[in-house]
Amino acid sequence: MNLLNVDPQTRAPFSATVATLIQKHGIAPDEIFMNVLESQEAPEMNYWMTMVLVQEHFVSGQKVVEKDASGEPVKAIHAACLLQNVGMAAALLELGAFSGSVTDRDFQLCARIASQHEDQAILGLLMKYAQEKEQLEPFMRTLQGSTLQ
């Protein structure tokens, strides 16, 4: 699955960059991950940096990055949606960095965040992911018919 239609040939420079940051500059992979999460760079860069960190440097895609006002854990995928980081959101979707299916809380929370922010890019990614999983109709039905607490 390649939600952003990025060219797989462009991964190598990002892999080298992450390796340099870790080995030569001593930056922890988790710290790089948090920087990518907050990044306003091009979606392709955030996508590849996320993929490299999770696949090559074992950062958890389901990483809890913060707690919300009520003390609930905020996963990286939710934070990426809140921060409108399309590249990281796409990578985390492809990596399955959420619990359950497209009709369960984690995925639906992403959709609600995107809807509240009127973020068509992230909402489009979620719909494309659901469609590729042949779950678009249940995803849309659940999104339209339920509220999350």
Residue 101's region, left for phi above 0, alpha for psi from -120 to 50, else beta, is: beta
Q: What is the pLDDT of residues 39-63, one digit of tens each?
A: 999 999 999 999 999 999 999 999 9
Residues near 32 by beta carbon (within 8 Å), at least 6 away in sequence: 18, 21, 22, 49, 53
Q: Average pLDDT of 2-15?
A: 96
Could you tell me the pTM of the whole model? 0.93
The pLDDT of residue 149 is 45
* The pLDDT of residue 146 is above 80: no
Q: What is the pLDDT of residues 63-115, one digit of tens each?
A: 999 999 999 999 999 999 999 999 999 999 999 999 999 999 999 999 999 99
Q: Average pLDDT of 132-148?
A: 86
